[in-house]
Amino acid sequence: MSACFMFLRHFARQSVVPFVHHKKGASLYKKGASLYFTILHRHLSSRTPFLFYPNKENVPPSEKIDLDEWKNTMKSSLPEERSSLTTSEDTLTMTREWIEMCRMLNREVPEHISDEDLKMIAECPSKKSKKKKLKFLYIKEKHKKARQEKQARKRAEKEETKKQKQLENDEETENRELKNSFLLPLQDRAFKTEWDWRNAQAMIFGQPLVFDMAYENFMPERDLKNTVCQLLESEGANRKDIDPFHIYFCNLRVDSVYHKELLNRYKEKWNTLFLTATEKSHVDIFPKESLIYLTADSPNVMTTFRHDKIYIIGSFVDKCSQPRVSYANAKRLNIASERLPLDRYLQWEIGSKNLTLDQMMRILLTLKNTGDWEKALKFVPRRKHSGFHTNSINSKNFVKGSQKHKLEIKKSFRKLSLNSQNRGMWWKDE
Amino acid sequence: MMTLLLSFCRSLQMLWKNRLYPGSSPRNWTFSVLYSYFHFSKKEQRYFSFTLPFQRNTKATNFLISQAISSNKNDKDTSRQESSFSPHPLFSAGTAKKKSELLGYKKDQQHYFPFSRPELLPTKPLSSEEWEKVKENFEQKNIFENWMMKQMIKYNCSIDIAKSLLSWIARKNNGIVEYKLLIGYLTLCVSQRQTAEIIDVYEIMKTRYKTLEREGYTLLIRGLIHSDRWRETLILLEDIKKVMSPSKKNYGDCIKGALLHREMNLAWNLYFEMLNHRIIPNWETFQAFFDFAKGVKNNEFERRLLDILLYLRNNQMYPNEPFAQSIKMWFESIPEKKWKGESVLIHKSGQCLACGRMLESIHLNSEEYEFLKQRVLKDVLDGGDQYRKTTPKEINRFEKFIKNCPPFDIVIDGLNVTKMFPKIRESETLLDVVSQLTKQNFQVLVLGRKHMLNGSSRWQKNEMTAVQNMAYCFFADNVSEDDAFLLYATLHSGNQCRFLTRDLMRDHKACLPDEKTQHLFFRWQQGHQLVFLNYYPGKKIIFQSVLTYDTVIQTTGDSWHIPYDENMVERYSYEVPTKWLCLQQQN
């Protein structure tokens, strides 16, 4: 201890003090001193490093400050007296009050809470689930508020421009002519009709793409909703494509949660959608040889997009810790399986290799139209990888796929992906 | 300048640490651990060296390792003696931490030096005008009060200063102080144990608010237990229960309050209520019971304390060091019985060095064994969906194979063992290991995958056929998991069978349904997993000794053996403590 102290003192004299003296800057002195103080206190004593209040000398020894004054006011400021904290009321009001108190501490709880949500919170089994639910509601409320504010702002802006226009219009209204235009403004509807035509064609001649809906029991309700969101998104992407797939929703049982949720989201549009929803399994509809199950757990890597095959995507948001569910399914039905060549093209960094359904859909669409892997894998989220392999072979060479070339690829891949991707390689062996 | 200072501080910290914990880990012991992880670290380096940008001191590590080897060669006697006390190379407390330190984790992450400067923090109570001045110097005016309160809590200011802050705020604010600030003030009072102030704040809260939230209740309970009004903490506890279940801290504080005021029955009732709600008490709570029991002479009380120890035994909990001290003190304080406590290491044969008694065996009894076997088959290998880890066809093939073979002595995880030595051809390593083991007349089973047979530069066909001639082999599909087969084959062969792998099998343990089964599995694993002590292909195989005794609190009536966690050792969840408290009655 004393040795340390000596050392420090020596050090301080040697370095801090001369430094300060040389510069003679007031601010520097302060900084050095505080540094010295902090170090001294951190390491040699448990005393807290207060700095002196700057005006200390100027203040006259003031009259005694009444320290307990606030207590009296706090106690007396409320007219009604309560005997104790306890009030015999039902849990819901208690919970509401409790949430209110949490809000006073700036905890992440919502300001307004509906009775249904309150009931749900009161019924949550654990503290953690309560906290999570409250945080979810809090964030939801915050988003809603932000949206409303934005809307109000926009409305105000619109009205202002309207007023200005009106003022201008009043002046120019007499000398205004009708415009000569080529089209009536009907663009949206025209697009929709065009898309519908294309999708109707795809229903007859298009390549099938299957969404396997057999994973209902593996997901909690929250994930199920996310899955349906992703399905909607991917259906939308497909509809707008120049050469859409013919989408199949297989294993979709009527009155299952999936079906209900889809109906709920699509409403009356559901019956006019250009896709095939069926209760049958994909193995019953298509020949087994032409089916390929896409799953990240597959040992086989997809090299090319084949136009004569039928790809299956499991509509499954895999947040539960049950690995290899979809691969097990493919094995059970004895279907070929493939995974995307993510490691071959991308320098993978974080995140799981499971992509969302809409990302898969966009990748497959791009592959179908161009066959270009680099273009297709642009849809992989940027946060997950740090870029494409620089000397990666373009897809055409890859399709030719001479054995020698493959080896070279492997070598270059090994060289490039010495970090985390490597694990993807050796899991096979261990 | 700055960097100089920083590096200086760092060295100072290190100096400090070394002074603080002198000889907590004796030289030789450290080296023996280093040594046993020699191969491990080599392998790990291969995988991690490129992912860890901050691992700069490979050279230093290598030097350490080489030094470890040489020192181990020089004084073999000491190393042998040491190794006979470390119960299991993989599962003894602290090894994982040492390994991670050896690999250079954490070292650089730990050093940070906060240059926080509480420049605005006053040293004495200020008047309102003075507070206004301080506020002027602060940039973000709207959070000033809360920020100041936080700083005061951080640096544990005297409560007079906090009071002056509050009275300034109250004057500004028509005599109203926000709840948040009140909580801050209460935190300060509780940490300084200003009981009178706590009661005042309690009164204020009672008048102003109908209910509080969790933090307020927790602080009030913690503060009030030392006062005369400690009984009101029970009311507060009831209030918490209306919204959610109280935490172990809340219960612990109430129990402590009851014990402080000699209300033993109340304390026990709270304790049992806690257990009924499946809340696992804090170590402090247990310790409080033992500490307060010293003066009490009561058979009922004594029995209940022993029940606590049995509760710990059933839940496989290991006391921490202060609690172990309390247990020892309590036992020694019982008059007439003359207990004597000692902290000891256990010899690897399972003999306590202090009293010479043998500890409980780690081996499962036949009923437990059969149960574990069924569970492994059902939950690990099958897992509800046979296709996930393997296929039904393969399970059939495996079962037929197992039935046709005699019981094995050693089951080898072929891939795991061969991948330990990256510089040597896999099939060569396997052949060497298998031939050495079969020479000792062991029945060996090698588990692997089919790709091992295909013949490549790493897996030579002639060596693989040689292996197949010497030992039984089972090759699973390339996409199946072979670990599950390994576990089942070992369990099927009976108690004498061991398995050789470096895998800790944590993922398979997690497949088991409940904690009881998981612990059975862990016990079985400790007693049956083999690890090389010091092997490099071509040398003679020596295994680390497996555990023969169970690390759990145990009694023979006139003696207790209690494993506990040492203060300085960081134990990972899959490790067991090495230190024991031996208590025996002297006649």
Lookup result for tokens 């991670």: B100
As a three-state string, the secondary structure of B388-440 is HHCCHHHHHHHHHHHHHCCCCCEEEEHHHHHCCCCCCCHHHHHHHHHHHHHHC
As a three-state string, the secondary structure of B331-348 is HHHCCCCCEEEEEECECC
Closest CA of chain A from B242, distance in Å:
6
Q: Give the span between the Cα atoms of A123 and A132, in whole angstroms.
A: 13
pLDDT at A419: 47
Q: Is A90 on the interface with B (CB under 8 A)?
A: no
Tokens at B139, concatenated = 């940039």
Q: Give the span between the Cα atoms of B343 and B325, in whole angstroms.
A: 9
Closest CA of chain B from A410, distance in Å:
16
A46: nearest CA partner in chain B: B155
ipTM for the whole complex:
0.73
Average pLDDT over residues A189-210: 93
Which of B51, B123, B479 minimises the CB distance to A52?
Answer: B123
Q: What is the pLDDT of residues B331-361, one digit of tens each?
A: 998 887 789 899 998 888 888 888 888 999 9
Note the Cα A68 to chain centre separation in Å.
51
B173: nearest CA partner in chain A: A70
Considering chain A, what is the average pLDDT of its residues? 78
Statement: residue A87 has pLDDT above 90: no
pLDDT at B84: 55
Pairwise CB contact (< 8 Å): A105 & B171: no
Mutate to test the interface with A, among B213, B429, B511 (most CBs of A within 10 A): B213
Q: Would you say B416 and B382 are in contact if contact means Cβ atoms under 8 Å apart?
A: no
Q: What is the pLDDT of residues A247-299, one digit of tens each?
A: 999 999 998 999 999 999 999 999 999 999 999 999 999 999 999 999 998 99
Candidate from A191-200, A330-339, B228-237, B296-305 with smallest mean pLDDT: B296-305
Q: Is B215 on the interface with A (CB under 8 A)?
A: yes
pLDDT at A321: 67
Within 8 A of A92 by CB-CB distance, chain B residues are none
pLDDT at A52: 42
pLDDT at A60: 41
Q: Give the span between the Cα atoms of B554 and B541, in whole angstroms.
A: 35
Residues 388-427 of chain A with CB under 8 A from chain B are 418-420, 422-423, 426
3-state secondary structure of B92: strand
Pairwise CB contact (< 8 Å): B175 & A70: yes
pLDDT at A63: 47
Q: Is A15 on the interface with B (CB under 8 A)?
A: yes
Within 8 A of B134 by CB-CB distance, chain A residues are 53
Within 8 A of A95 by CB-CB distance, chain B residues are 243
Residues 310-339 of chain A with CB under 8 A from chain B are 322-325, 327-329, 331-332
CA-to-CA separations, B169 to A69, B30, B131, in angstroms, rounded: 11, 58, 9
Within 8 A of B416 by CB-CB distance, chain A residues are 430
CA proximity to B521, closest of B496, B497, B491, B549 = B491
pLDDT at A173: 63
A–B interface: beta-carbon pairs under 8 A = 189
Which of B130, B175, B243 minimises the CB distance to A74?
Answer: B175
pLDDT at A62: 43
Pairwise CB contact (< 8 Å): B5 & A68: no
A6: nearest CA partner in chain B: B12
Pairwise CB contact (< 8 Å): A429 & B415: yes
Closest CA of chain A from B245, distance in Å:
8
pLDDT at A281: 93
Closest CA of chain A from B163, distance in Å:
6
Q: Is A87 on the interface with B (CB under 8 A)?
A: yes
Tokens at A259, concatenated = 């079906």
User: What's the Rg (C-alpha) of chain A?
Assistant: 34
CA proximity to B501, closest of B479, B528, B474 = B528
Pick the residue with more confidence: A46 or A142?
Answer: A142
Pick the residue with more confidence: A300 or B103?
Answer: A300
3-state secondary structure of A72: helix
pLDDT at B174: 81
Within 8 A of A4 by CB-CB distance, chain B residues are 12, 15-16
What percentage of chain A's residues is helix, strand, coil (to nearest 5)? 55, 10, 35
3-state secondary structure of A318: coil
What is the bridge-based pairing of β-strands B410-413 and B444-449? parallel
Q: Where would I find the H helices in A16-63?
A: 17-23, 26-44
Question: Cα-Cα-Cα-Cα dihedral of B491, B493, B494, B495, to 10°?
Answer: -80
Statement: residue A422 has pLDDT above 70: no
Lookup result for tokens 């009311």: B235
CA proximity to A366, closest of A381, A358, A376 = A376
Number of Cβ atoms within 10 Å of the Cβ of A224: 19
Q: Is B358 on the interface with A (CB under 8 A)?
A: no
Q: Give the span between the Cα atoms of B366 and B581, in whole angstroms.
A: 30
Q: In which residue ranges of chain B is pLDDT below 70?
A: 1-89, 105-120
Pairwise CB contact (< 8 Å): B415 & A78: no
Statement: residue A215 has pLDDT above 80: yes
Tokens at B518, concatenated = 């998981």
CA proximity to A389, closest of A343, A423, A352 = A343
Pairwise CB contact (< 8 Å): B167 & A70: yes
Within 8 A of B242 by CB-CB distance, chain A residues are 91, 94
Query: What letter does residue A202 receive in the DSSP assignment?
Result: H
Query: What letter does residue B378 receive in the DSSP assignment?
Result: I
CA atoms within 13 A on the CB side of A120: 12
Pairwise CB contact (< 8 Å): B210 & A97: yes
pLDDT band at A98 (very low <50, low <70, confident <90, very high): confident
Which amino acid, residue A404?
K
pLDDT at A399: 45
Candidate from A108-122, A403-417, B476-490 with smallest mean pLDDT: A403-417
Which of A8, A66, A82 minimises the CB distance to B167?
Answer: A66
Q: What is the pLDDT of residues B48-100, one digit of tens each?
A: 333 333 333 444 444 444 444 444 444 444 444 444 555 666 787 777 787 77
Q: Give the span between the Cα atoms of A352 and A362, in whole angstroms.
A: 18
Query: B248 CB contacts (<8 Å, ≥6 apart)?
Result: B274, B279, B280, B281, B282, B285
Residues 504-563 of chain B with CB under 8 A from chain A are none
Which of B19, B213, B416 minimises the CB distance to A98?
Answer: B213
Q: Give the span between the Cα atoms of B119 and A50, in whole angstroms.
A: 7
Q: Is A177 on the interface with B (CB under 8 A)?
A: no
3-state secondary structure of B513: coil
Within 8 A of A49 by CB-CB distance, chain B residues are 117-118, 155
Within 8 A of A109 by CB-CB distance, chain B residues are none
Mutate to test the interface with A, among B207, B236, B450, B480 (most CBs of A within 10 A): B207
Q: Is A81 on the interface with B (CB under 8 A)?
A: yes
CA proximity to A225, closest of A139, A142, A330, A319 = A319
Q: Give the span between the Cα atoms of A377 and B568, in whole angstroms.
A: 50
What is the bridge-based pairing of β-strands A310-314 and A291-294? parallel
pLDDT at A391: 57
Q: Give the span between the Cα atoms of B487 and A109, in whole angstroms.
A: 48
Query: B4 CB contacts (<8 Å, ≥6 apart)?
Result: A15
Burial of A149 (C-beta count, 10 Å sphere; 0-12/13-18/19+): exposed
Within 8 A of B188 by CB-CB distance, chain A residues are none
Helix H or strand E encompassing A385: strand A385-388
Statement: residue A149 has pLDDT above 90: yes
Residues 130-149 of chain B with CB under 8 A from chain A are 130, 133-134
CA proximity to A123, closest of A169, A91, A159 = A91
Question: Interior CA angle at A326 toward A325 and A329, to 5°?
Answer: 95
User: What's the Rg (C-alpha) of chain B?
Assistant: 30
Q: Give the span between the Cα atoms of A202 and B173, in whole angstroms.
A: 71
Pairwise CB contact (< 8 Å): A8 & B12: yes
> With pLDDT > 70 as the criterion, what percentage of chain A qualifies?
69
Query: B44 CB contacts (<8 Å, ≥6 apart)?
Result: B99, B103
